[in-house]
Amino acid sequence: MSVLVFRTTLPRFEYLRPKSLGEALELKAKYGGDAMILAGGTDLLVDIRMRAKKPKYVIDIKGVKELSELKYVEGRGLEIGSAVTLSEIERSKVVKEKFHVLWDAVRQLADFPLRTRATLAGNIANASPASDSAPALLVLGAEVELSSTRGTRKLPIKKFFKWVKQTYMEPDEMITRIFVPEPPRDSKGMYLKFTRISVEDLSVVGIAGLAANPKEPEKRIVRLAYASVAPTPVLVEEVEEIFKHDKPVKELIREAVEAVKKKTSPITDVRGTAEYRRHLIEFGTAYLLNRLLEVIE
Amino acid sequence: MKKISITLTVNGQKKTVEVTPNERLIDVLRYRLDLRSVKAGCLKGECGSCLVLMNGKPVKSCLILAAEADGSEITTVEGLGSLNKPALIQKAFIEAFGYQCGFCTSGFILLGHWILENMPDASEEEIKEILNGILCRCTGYKQIIEAIKLAQKWKRERK
Amino acid sequence: MSPYKYVGKPIPRADVDKVFGDAIFSFDVTLPGMLYAKLVGATQAHAKIKHIDYSKALQVPGVVAVFTGAEFPQKIGIYAADRDVLAREKVLYYGHPIAAVVAESLEAAENAAELIEVEYEPLPAVFDVKDALKPDAPILHERLAEYKHASFIYPEPGTNIATRVKLRKGDVEEGFAKADVIVEDTYREPLVSQAYLENWVGVARVKSDGTVEIWSSHQSPFAVRELLAASLGLPIGKVIVYHLYTGGGFGGKAGILLEHIPVLLSMKLGGRPVRLELNREENFHYMAQRAGYIFEMKTAATKDGKLIAHQGRYLLDAGAYADYTVNVARSVTFMAFGPYEIPNIHIDTCAVYTNKVPTTAFRGFGLMELFFASEQQIDQLAEKLGMDPVEFRLKNALIPGKSITPTQRRLREDAGAPADTIRRTAELIGWDKPLEKPKEPWKRRGRGIAAFWKGPVQPSSAAASAVVKLNEDGSVDLLVGTGEMGQGTVSALRQIVAEELGIEPEKVRVSPIRSTNLVPYTWQTVGSRGLYSDGQALMRALEDLKSQIRKVAAQIFKVFEDEIEIKDGKAYVKGKPWDSVTLAEIALGYMFPDGETIHGPLIGRGSHVPVQTTFLDPETGAGEPKPFITFGAGAVEVEVDLLNMQVKVIRAATVYDTPVINPGLAYGQVYGGLVMGMGLALTEQLVFDDHGRLLNPNLTDYKVFRAGDIPKEIKAEFLGVGQRNAPYGAKGIGELTMLAWPAAIINAIYDAIGVRVKETPATPDKLLKEIREQKPELLEEVRKQLLG
């Protein structure tokens, strides 16, 4: 365009409100990429106004009962419907106690009034490199359930993101559930979010960490995943292997930091320089590992 | 674009409005129902000048389609009280100088009201955590926090 | 404790309607038959407009008309008429409004706007002030020589210089020759946004008799009226400006904003009401922001700790249109170098056009920016001298009745208490106490202080007036022209009326909707001048009203007028309060038992012009620019986190010399100014890419602090040292509350880690860069702690 137009009103689209999952999938099958799923709307409506997304149809799934459940089955893990809000997740005792890294990420995501609307599935589907929930789901090894009239498939979260704002979802698919397996017994989790002001900001760098059995090398599990350091949220898989070795903790931390540096490619943007992000990757990772491995309080 | 008929219970009164799909809750509240206390500062969910209570929960009405709100209960600051019959939180905002230009004020008062109703014993840190969701450019927040704490104190004393 | 009944007490604000959703802002104004306008911005930073095709836009149902710059030859601007209504011939910045669509609905206008096509011929653009000063720089305003401008603005045609300001006091060469220590440094501050919550909006219509009415979000209704009339060639008497509540201004809504656009559109469309509302993204592009700054300073002191010379070259990045920035250039020059006496000063200041968003005033009118630089110079000199920064400041602080200001006038005897504010601020922050040591080894604490002074930068003729009308129930209508944008001046004025007449403040009303044809004149709502200027006019109006009360009461009680006492809303003969008339009884005059009536309605009026302010000499700056000056200081304790490079303000202390009318309002200014100042110090900046595109025209990436960021402890005091002619001695403070913070915070960072950041904002990434350059060993320490 040769002119700048910043809209106040939303461009036109049709609003569809299916009452069942079957109906929702039918609509998605019929309209494909012209239809977009509206769960919380906190990202979608901004993108529509700014013309970043131009749906002809908006499918509101909040009326679909099947998608509104947050379930926990001992031994199997969490099952989070795509219409479940972040507030519901934040309020869940089970999530806080057993899936602490997810809870920690969710409570730092956006702000309180937005979390009453925004959903976990939406945060994933938006595929922002700055997604706060994605790193947590990555270290927890979550799976995304994608459904269409053709059937249902489960995609590990690490295979879900394609590029900035792009996923491996097909145009007729929608996220129906997110499965989060039971984390390793006695694991600790933490989400470290670096922001420009101390509260309510997009992550300049986000680091999710999960650790179990810090003192026993062979049983030790350490996982790290990142936001805002690459075109997609990334799990640095090498870290888990590194910590299987029986070496002094500080040495392992140094190795892990090096592995993370290799797997990340931060850029300079309006939220921070690449140099600063690299610093956060180094110091933040080291700090988080020190905390998770109980070197420091 | 099909018109959609929605029914809202706004400040206790049932209202039925015909909306287009691209109308937002803020648009309907401001321009159809004349609730001008609901302000637009960014239309992006950052400032919270458009905050209302929807089914008892604080939401930013610029990021909700009117159609989505069908059947819900909405409270705006007009619904809390009036000069002759102010809500506790409104009295406290006056007493503690919890506002200046007034543009963000409705949002802060509604959040304060929500805190009084749902977390009457919220600590200062918890209050701040909740207020972090919306912006004020005038007050530096301190007197807003003081207003909410004052209302908490009044509420405790009444009991 | 205040000796008065109302003045000096935290009486609730007048505008309680804001708490109940009754308050009407310009944003809320709609009129029957109203049309909606939409501006379209350019996608080039500097380019010739070859062709604008809006044929497709006209076909959108609901579209009434599309206008381009060709239709509007008028030039707009407060001190220099440098602004086009819509870009003509050339666009001067990315986002420059280039066309306006008018339609029956905003949606139609926006749909049509998206269909406009423009053909540009790109021109070389210039984004950096220093580049813009080079002889071969692209010129933004080729016709600068033709622009009308105020007599004290000195544009230099053929260049990008919008104005040049000079200050000469003493002989700097001589001063530097005598110096023992000299600090020479450069400080930079980027363009920033006032970021008020209410985006600009204006609704205009033209009535059949030619009267233009405008409802708009502004600070100064009379400035809008004057500039609208002048730039559109209308008689002042045909322009009515409505002032409703303004959702924040902070300098960004001083003067004329975009009022001329809906007015001109309405004129073209048979007078139909036209509403132009900006959304946040538009507000960042179409409204003027704050200038960027480069301060090059050379400052000297003798070894006994006395400042002896200051030389400065100050550059203001004015963007495409300079608006108030040309006057801000005067402000930073004449108030240099802060509240200190320096015998020799030499300053050259230029405001320079660049291909960026237009700029204008911001709370503090350049002085916060100036002190960011000068108060670091002070700290650097103190360090070189081995002197405590507080002691060094106290040694040089201006002394009322004795010191000579930079503009070569003796500071008036009752000017205030500069040194006392510095001393008390240091006490409140615990300057001499040891700092707490944070438990995390990568966190460091430090303290910093900065002193400031400010008065309004206004013409010597900046007048004010006030009217008080007594009503039949004893209530009073207070009519003043000063705007209400949150600062609460009208609330303070109301309190003065209550005090003077002895009636409850609730009985004094200031209408929330005012207009230039119904309230008396005041120059502008800027420069922290409202309370002082309108307040003096009000004191005279009250004196006028009281003399009428005394006159009527004297006839009733058959005594001389000077025997009448007015107290608690009653008038009586001194010493005989039991036999009184109420103000209600004499509001419309007084009727004797036989029906004979005297005087008629009681109405007081008062006017004010500043005394003893003058023009300034164009070569030296000599003269008196200020009717009053408020003095103060601010100090902070910060915690620098070397892990994430964030700086947290832990506590803040600040002291002002002036008394206050309402501590609730005054503290509100203090807290608001502090948090805004913190933002400018640490997070806020407009970021442009290499093509001049603004990358953060939103509140997602223009980072404003939130509730969780505020300091744990804020101490503030007002010393109560008044100026004789000010109402109850009270001088302005609205802007003053922001002036110390960037300097104090940066000085505190230096105290904490020994790294000096000479450019705002001290964002984490910038701090990291500075640490790497100045003190990399700090990072090594932390690395060792974390990585072994």
Among partner residues B44, B49, B78, which is closest to C698 by beta-carbon distance? B44
- Give the containing element (helix H, strand E) for A122: helix A120-125
The ipTM value here is: 0.98
Question: How distant is the alpha carbon of residue A195 from its chain centre?
Answer: 17
B-chain residues within 8 Å CB-CB of C199?
Answer: 40-41
- Residues C334, A291: Cα–Cα separation, whole Å: 54
CA distance B1 to chain A (A): 6
Chains contacting chain B through 3 or more C-beta pairs under 8 A: A, C
With 90 as the cut, is the pLDDT of residue A41 above it?
yes
User: Which of the residues B1, B42, B43, B114 would you substitute to probe the A interface, choosing the one with the greatest number of A C-beta atoms within 10 Å?
Assistant: B43
Domains of chain B with bracketed CATH? 4-79 (3.10.20.30), 88-158 (1.10.150.120)
CATH 3.40.50.300 matches A65-180: no
Structure tokens at B95: 């007493």
- Give the containing element (helix H, strand E) for C183: strand C181-189
Phi, psi of A133 (to 5 degrees): -80, -30
- Which residue of chain A is at minimal alpha-carbon distance from B26? A9
Query: Residues B17, B28: contact at Cβ < 8 Å?
Result: yes
With 70 as the cut, is the pLDDT of residue B28 above it?
yes
Among partner residues B37, B44, B103, which is closest to C197 by beta-carbon distance? B103
- Residues C621, C160: Cα–Cα separation, whole Å: 22
Q: Which residues of chain A does CATH 3.30.390.50 include?
A: 188-292
Instruction: Give the Å distances, CA to CA, from C685 to A49, C93, C284, C292.
Output: 25, 18, 12, 10
Query: Residues C715, C428: contact at Cβ < 8 Å?
Result: yes
Q: What is the pLDDT of residues C265-320, one digit of tens each?
A: 999 999 999 999 999 999 999 999 999 999 999 999 999 999 999 999 999 999 99
- Residues C289, C360: Cα–Cα separation, whole Å: 6
B-chain residues within 8 Å CB-CB of C23?
Answer: 37, 102
- Which residue of chain A is at minimal alpha-carbon distance from C699? A201
C-chain residues within 8 Å CB-CB of A204?
Answer: 764
- Determine the topology of domain A188-292 in CATH: Enolase-like; domain 1 (3.30.390)
- pLDDT, residue B1, reads 73
With 80 as the cut, is the pLDDT of residue A297 above it?
no
Cβ-defined contact of C118 to A3 (cutoff 8 Å) = yes
Cβ-defined contact of C110 to A200 (cutoff 8 Å) = no
Low-confidence residues in chain C, pLDDT < 70: 1
Among partner residues A12, A87, A199, which is closest to B22 by beta-carbon distance? A12
- pLDDT, residue A215, reads 87
- A75 in contact with C, Cβ within 8 Å: no
Query: Residues C700, A270: contact at Cβ < 8 Å?
Result: no
Domains of chain C with bracketed CATH? 16-22+462-608 (3.30.365.10), 31-123+200-277 (3.90.1170.50), 289-458+615-783 (3.30.365.10)
Helix, strand or coil for residue C586?
helix
Q: What is the pLDDT of residues B92-118, one digit of tens each?
A: 999 999 999 999 999 999 999 999 999
Three-state SS letters, C335-373: CCCCCECCCEEEEEEEEEECCCCCEECCCCCCHHHHHHH
Instruction: Write the CB contacts of C784 (distance below 8 Å, at least 6 apart in sequence).
Output: none
CATH 3.40.640.10 matches A14-60: no
Q: Which residues of chain A does CATH 3.30.465.10 include?
A: 65-180
| First-last CA distance in chain C | 58
A295 confidence band (pLDDT: 50, 70, 90): confident
Provide the mean pLDDT of chain C.
97
Structure tokens at C540: 């005279």
Q: Which residues of chain A does CATH 3.30.43.10 include?
A: 14-60
- pLDDT, residue B159, reads 66
Query: Residues A159, A59: contact at Cβ < 8 Å?
Result: no
User: Which of the residues C49, C67, C643, C644 would you substitute to probe the A interface, choosing the one with the greatest number of A C-beta atoms within 10 Å?
Assistant: C644
Instruction: Write the CB contacts of C33 (distance below 8 Å, at least 6 apart in sequence).
Output: C272, C273
Compute the count of residue pairs across chains B and C with CB atoms less than 8 Å apart.
165
- A91 in contact with B, Cβ within 8 Å: no
- pLDDT, residue A27, reads 98
| Across B58-83, average pLDDT | 97
Cβ-defined contact of C667 to B97 (cutoff 8 Å) = yes
Structure tokens at C43: 């996608």
Structure tokens at A259: 């592995």
How many Cα atoms are found within 13 Å in the side-chain-facing hemisphere of A235?
Answer: 22
Phi, psi of C360 (to 5 degrees): -155, -155
- Residues A23, A16: Cα–Cα separation, whole Å: 10
User: Which of the residues A12, A116, A119 would you substitute to probe the B interface, choosing the one with the greatest number of B C-beta atoms within 10 Å?
Assistant: A116
Which residue's entry shows tokens 């003095």? C631
Instruction: Give all strands of the β-sheet with B51-54 in edge-to-edge order.
Output: B13-19, B4-10, B73-75, B51-54, B57-60
Query: Residues C294, C130: contact at Cβ < 8 Å?
Result: yes
With 90 as the cut, is the pLDDT of residue B25 above it?
yes
Nearest Cα residue to C287 out of C295, C277, C297:
C277
- Residues C649, B140: Cα–Cα separation, whole Å: 13
A-chain residues within 8 Å CB-CB of B21?
Answer: 12-15, 58
